[in-house]
Amino acid sequence: MAQAKAAVIRSDLDIVIARTLARDTAKALGFGAIDQARIATAVSELARNIFLYAGSGSVTVREIEKSGRKGIEIVCEDQGPGIANLDLAMQDGFTTSRGMGMGLPGAKRLMDQFEVKTKEGEGTTITCSKWRA
């Protein structure tokens, strides 16, 4: 299995680097153009949240396989403030930054699996994946 690749998120330029890494990996794994766009867009949202709310963190992309099926897994990790109310944060339109509140719910819709682990004062880890058709 291919090695995981990581992008450090420290600035808005790193958001572009992270989503390009995700797209390139998805393409190499044989995902079609629409799935590549879905994956890159989800990573863009999650990486921006890291930059905006935690200041810094990382995005790790790797290939996964389950009963002969190939997929991509993305782990977005930060040691920021954590998400105070996750149920609320997952709702369309909820924002604490005058954003559109589309990032988390939108990224969830774009991926097949989406899991958030967060603790106030400790940080947030979002693991999401998508399987190849």
Partner 1 sequence: MNSLRIPILKIGDVLIASIQIALHDASAVQFKDDLLQKIHDTKARGVIIDLTAIDVVDSFIGRMIADIAAMSGLMGARVVLTGLQPAVAITLVELGLELTGVLTALNLEKGLAVMQRQTDQAEESSDGTG
Q: Which residues of this chain interact with Mg ion, rule CB under 5 A?
A: 49, 103
Q: Residue 37 or 116: which CB sits closer to partner 1?
A: 37
Longest dimension (CA), the chain: 43
Cα–Cα distance measured from residue 94 to residue 64, given in angstroms and rounded to the nearest whole number = 32
Among the candidate windows 17-25, 57-65, 66-74, 83-91, which touches partner 1 by CB under 8 A?
A: 17-25
Q: Residue 29 or 128: which CB sits closer to ligand ATP?
A: 128
By the rule CB under 6 A, 71 interacts with ligand ATP? no
Binding mask 21-50 vs ligand ATP (x if CB under 6 A, - otherwise)? ------------------------x---xx
Axis-axis angle for helices 33-49, 12-28 (nearest 10): 150
Of the candidates 2, 4, 10, 12, which one interacts with partner 1 according to CB under 8 A? 12
Q: Helix, strand or coil for residue 17?
A: helix
Backbone angles phi, psi at 27, to 5 degrees: -65, -45
Cα–Cα distance measured from residue 102 to residue 59, given in angstroms and rounded to the nearest whole number = 19
CB of 68 to Mg ion, least distance (A): 35
CB of 99 to partner 1, least distance (A): 7
Closest CA to 113 of 82, 83, 69: 69
Of the candidates 124, 128, 129, 130, which one interacts with ligand ATP according to CB under 6 A? 124
